[in-house]
Amino acid sequence: MDTSALYRVAAVLTAIGGLNWGLVGIFEFDLVAWIFGEEFGTTNAITRIIYIIVGLSALYVLLRALMPDRRHDHDHARHGGAAGGAAPRV
């Protein structure tokens, strides 16, 4: 799994967005709107920017989850297809 700083930040933002949607669904409470002084269902420039960043983070996490891990494939080929470079058993 990718543990880059970008991935970790995107994963945290995606989780925060998911929790916010949980609050919206269960309690009709939008934490982001509340933090920035908006009523439920309204937005301003700052909240829209936050929603866009969280959405882009979710897209990044989704794409990373769906893409094959190229580093693993490269290491696998370099080591002859077996862990630790050992020859595969026939």
> Whole-model pTM above 0.85?
no
pLDDT at 89 over 80: no
Q: List, for residues 23-71, the tens digit of each pLDDT value.
A: 999 999 999 999 999 999 999 999 999 999 999 999 999 999 999 877 6
DSSP string, the chain: ----HHHHHHHHHHHHHHHHHHHHHHHS--HHHHHTTPPTT---HHHHHHHHHHHHHHHHHHHHHHS--HHHHHHHHHTTTSGGGPPPP-
Q: What is the token pair recorded at 79?
A: 């080591």
